[in-house]
Amino acid sequence: MSETLLDLKGLKCPLPVLKARKAMSRLPAGDRLVVLTTDPMAEIDIPHFCQENGHTLVASERTEFGHRFLLTKGA
């Protein structure tokens, strides 16, 4: 299992979730993706994306710049 960092700071909705979707499509099942965002809508969009696409939202936290999400790719 590996972990990939995706820095999406400065991008506005819907770009963070679209880029996260593209990055997840390249990962094998079980790999993790760390997503950094500044878009306030990502707090809603990223968890919804995980739920709709069978991925796991391992962690979500507010940071000094916005949010940090840890996702695990589903099967």
**Percent with pLDDT over 70 in the chain:** 100
If you compute the radius of gyration of the chain from its CA atoms, what whole number of angstroms results?
A: 11
Indicate whether 60 pLDDT > 90.
Answer: yes
Indicate whether 16 pLDDT > 90.
Answer: yes
Indicate whether 47 pLDDT > 90.
Answer: yes
Q: What is the mean pLDDT of residues 21-44?
A: 97
State how far the Cα of 11 lies from the Cα of 40, in Å rounded to an integer. Answer: 10
- Residues acting as catalytic residues: 13
Give the DSSP per-residue string, 7-47: EETT--TTHHHHHHHHHHHTSPTT-EEEEEE--TTHHHHHH
Query: pLDDT grade, residue 1 (50/70/90)?
Result: confident
**Percent with pLDDT over 90 in the chain:** 96
